[in-house]
Structure 1
Amino acid sequence: MATNALSGKHVLVTRAKDQAEPFINQIEEAGGISHIIPLLLFQPVKSDQLEKAITYINEFDWLVFTSANGVRFFLEEFKKRHLPSSLKARIAVVGEKTEAVLDEYGLKADLLPDRYVAEDLAVTLTTHITAGEKILMPRGNLGRTLLPKELEKAGIEVSDLTIYETVCPPEAKDQFRAFIKSGQAIDVITFTSSSAVRHFAQVLLELRIEEPFKDAKIACIGPIAEKTATEYHLNVDITASTYTIEGLIEAIITYYKEAKKV
């Protein structure tokens, strides 16, 4: 992305630390100045249900992944006992980023919705899966209930398996306090998930700060994060129409290009 559309703009990145680099690179390629305060930390969840799912994996007709983290956490556990290539179940993913991580394990997605949200994945799955088939859905503890509920309505058996949990990093509060104390202005606050929005609100509440970046624009990766931000009384200025970090960067750039025309 060779452009200076974000030249001089200070952008706050709230993604998990180990996932932020590609986003930061794109901000800086567009001329922006990035600041990172991770508001997400992902931790594996070990359980008897996970052990049972891996032991009886061939009883499932489909594996459904709703996030890249779901792929990583599940397949890393699976690799300890089997080769990923031994999976016989067909695989559905929510979007291209999740598909890309799947590819890292030498696996291909059999099903991908046109839009990268649970609503579209539910519709796509119900048109490709027949009643009586069994689905294993490895995902995070904060996953939306819409997808398994819609599939169960269609007579599809769903094993909803929590394999990781999303928490607010313990250092986030001190990082925010120090950053606010520095007086650095922020032009855009970015949220790539509803969890990041919730943790942002949680940290500000604990710090007893209402508007730390009064003039900052709020940018969300898609309508779900936007809805959560609105619920926390944040005024969302930018929402990506393609629900990826590339789509979010493009939306921010478009916003500032349009602003210059006014």
Structure 2
Amino acid sequence: MIFINTRPQGRAEALSQALQQQHIEVIDLPLLRLSARPWSAELASLYAQLPNTHIIVVVSPTAVEIGMAYLAQSHLQLQDLQHICWVAVGEKTAEVLREYGVHSDIPQVETSEGMLSLASLQNLAAGTQIAFWRGEGGRQFMMQTLLDQGMQVHNFVLYQRECPASSVQKMAAVRSRLIQTSEFWMMISSEASWLNWLMLIQHDATLLNKGHYWVLGDRLEQILLDYQAQHHTKYKILKLTNLKTELILQQIMRMQGKL
């Protein structure tokens, strides 16, 4: 069994080690690299409005780290934000927030839809001010949903997301290995990751169809289903509710008939 670990560097190691302990061949191929956007007048203006915000939605551990660094640069302190409700996309993001002494609400399913279902984002008064600490291109659906509900959204684009150059360089060797096998498994955690994967394989239907794609949440599942229908591909899709190592191992054991 070949499993392609697409998690960013720094977050992939625990899963790779756990899979290798189960005698699974692992290919580390990060599909996203996150890099901070430079401090700007636009960010300075957004941070100046932050004490008037009611909710801050934080979409990744990277958003926490960069967001907090820029909070200090803006000369604000966390005590200026004590009245604010924080929402984290998942446990890893919440864990990093806790390192700063911040409690956050966490959805059961680590997606935009999961966050929108939280009690803290239900029955909000029109005009409620919600800040998003996010990366370029991320959480468009969630922000638009809240805008449609009459909320005021403050868009903190804190970092850029791109396909790592190292993965582009490694792809020739990865392709050679995948050509030798009849199937492989990989996680797809975001639409950006999926688009980067399609770019790396250059829409090679033969290679694409060998994949078992484990996707995070309903919306991403639908994106892959739509692509499948439009391009007449035959890959397999499994929807996950989170990206925890325990869940990945459980799914593999179930697939191997060990559960």
Q: Same fold (TM over 0.5)?
A: yes
CA gap of 1:62–1:218, structure 2 versus 1, over 3 A, is closer
> How many angstroms does 1:213 deviate by?
7.1
- Count of residue pairs brought into register by the alignment: 247
Give SS of 2:206's match.
coil
CA gap of 1:223–1:253, structure 2 versus 1, over 3 A, is farther
CA gap of 1:50–1:100, structure 2 versus 1, over 3 A, is same
Query: Out of 113, 131, 139, which is 2:126 matched to?
Result: 131
| TM norm structure 1 | 0.81
Alpha-carbon distance in structure 1 between the residues aligned to 2:219 and 2:180? 29
Q: Do structure 1's residue 11 and structure 2's residue 8 form an aligned pair?
A: no
> How many angstroms does 1:42 deviate by?
0.8
1:213-239 Cα distance to aligned partner (Å, 9 max, x none):
764433223333333333443623432
Identity of aligned residues (%): 19
Query: Out of 58, 67, 76, which is 1:65 matched to?
Result: 58
CA contact (8 A) 2:107 2:115 kept: yes
Alpha-carbon distance in structure 1 between the residues aligned to 2:21 and 2:72? 36
> How many angstroms does 1:175 deviate by?
0.4
CA contact (8 A) 1:74 1:138 kept: yes
The residue number in structure 2 matching 1:201 is 198
What letter is aligned with 1:63?
I
Alpha-carbon distance in structure 2 between the residues aligned to 1:255 and 1:43? 36
- After TM superposition, the structure 1 = structure 2 runs for residues 14-93 of structure 1, keeping only pairs within 5 Å, are 14-46=6-38, 47-80=40-73, 81-88=75-82, 89-93=84-88
Q: Which sits farther off after the overlay, 53-62 or 216-225?
A: 216-225
Alpha-carbon distance in structure 2 between the residues aligned to 1:192 and 1:248? 13
Structure 2 unaligned runs (5+)?
A: none
Alpha-carbon distance in structure 2 between the residues aligned to 1:178 and 1:191? 20
> How many angstroms does 1:161 deviate by?
2.0
The residue number in structure 2 matching 1:5 is none
CA gap of 1:190–1:64, structure 2 versus 1, over 3 A, is closer
Alpha-carbon distance in structure 2 between the residues aligned to 1:21 and 1:215? 25
CA contact (8 A) 1:126 1:154 kept: no
CA gap of 1:146–1:193, structure 2 versus 1, over 3 A, is closer
Alpha-carbon distance in structure 1 between the residues aligned to 2:187 and 2:205? 17
CA gap of 1:195–1:245, structure 2 versus 1, over 3 A, is farther
1:66-87 Cα distance to aligned partner (Å, 9 max, x none):
3333222212222344444543
Alpha-carbon distance in structure 2 between the residues aligned to 1:216 and 1:155? 41
CA contact (8 A) 1:50 1:161 kept: yes
> How many angstroms does 1:13 deviate by?
1.0
| TM norm structure 2 | 0.82
Structure 1 unaligned runs (5+)?
A: 1-8
Q: Do structure 1's residue 140 and structure 2's residue 127 form an aligned pair?
A: no
CA gap of 1:113–1:173, structure 2 versus 1, over 3 A, is closer
RMSD across aligned positions (CA)? 2.7
Q: Do structure 1's residue 244 and structure 2's residue 239 form an aligned pair?
A: no
CA contact (8 A) 1:93 1:112 kept: yes
The residue number in structure 1 matching 2:111 is 117
Alpha-carbon distance in structure 2 between the residues aligned to 1:192 and 1:227? 13
CA contact (8 A) 2:32 2:164 kept: yes
CA gap of 1:146–1:237, structure 2 versus 1, over 3 A, is closer
Give SS of 2:256's match.
helix
CA gap of 1:132–1:237, structure 2 versus 1, over 3 A, is closer
> How many angstroms does 1:41 deviate by?
0.7
CA contact (8 A) 1:197 1:228 kept: no
